[in-house]
Amino acid sequence: MRRFQQYVLPGIIFQSVLIGGAYSTGREIVQYGARFGPRGLWSIVAIFLGFSLMCALAFEFSRVSRAYDYRNFVRALIGPAWPLFDVLFFAMAILVIAVVGAASGDVVEEILGLPYWVGVVVVVCLVGALNTSGRAAIERFKTVGSVVLYVGYILFAGAVLYERWPQTMVALREGPGTAGGDAGASIAAAFGVGILYVGYNLASLPAAFFTLDRQTTRRQAFGAGIIGGLMATVPFVLTYLAIMGYYPDAEVTTANVPWLVMLGRVGGDTLLAVFAFVVVWTLVETSTGMIHAIIERVTVNLAEVGRQPMSRRQVGTLTVAVLVLAAVLSRFGLIELVARGYTLMAYGFLLLFALPLCTVGVYRIFKASAR
List, for residues 300-323, the tens digit of each pLDDT value. Answer: 777 777 777 777 777 778 777 777
Residue ranges making up the domain that contains 140: 10-79+87-370
What CATH number did the domain enclosing 260 receive? 1.20.1740.10
> Per-residue pLDDT tens for 197-255?
998 788 888 888 888 988 889 999 999 999 999 999 999 999 999 999 998 888 998 88
Is the residue at 143 inside a domain?
yes
SS3 state at 180: coil
124 in Cβ contact with 320 (< 8 Å): yes
pLDDT value for 235: 92
Residue pLDDT, tens place only, 332-352: 655 565 556 667 777 888 889
Decide if 218 is inside a domain. Answer: yes
Residues 86-104: tens digit of each pLDDT: 888 888 777 777 777 777 7
pLDDT for 177 equals: 46
Per-residue pLDDT at 184: 67
Residue 1 lies in a domain: no
**pLDDT bucket at 138, cuts 50 / 70 / 90:** confident
Rg (CA), the chain: 20
pLDDT digits (tens, 9 = 90+) for 288-298: 877 887 777 77
* Contact between residue 70 and residue 62 where contact means Cβ atoms under 8 Å apart: no
User: Which run of H or of E encompasses 48?
Assistant: helix 40-65
Q: Is residue 282 part of a domain?
A: yes
Of the two residues 127 and 161, the one the predictor is more confident about is 161
Q: Residue 2 falls within a domain, yes or no?
A: no
The dihedrals phi and psi of 127, each to the nearest 5 degrees, come to -65, -40
Find the helix packing angle between 258-266 and 135-173, rounded to 10°.
70
Residue range 63-82: mean pLDDT, rounded: 88
Confidence band, pLDDT 50/70/90 cuts, at residue 43: very high
pTM attached to this predicted model: 0.83
Q: CA-CA distance, 14 to 200, in Å (whole number)?
A: 13
Whether residue 206 lies inside any domain: the answer is yes
With respect to residue 4, please indicate whether it lies within any of the assigned structural domains: no
Q: Which residue has the higher pLDDT, 342 or 115?
A: 115
How far is C-alpha 122 from the geometric centre of its chain's CA atoms?
20
- Residue 277: inside a domain: yes
User: What is the pLDDT, as a whole number, of residue 337?
Assistant: 56
Q: How many domains does the chain have?
A: 1
For the chain, percent of residues with pLDDT exceeding 70 = 92
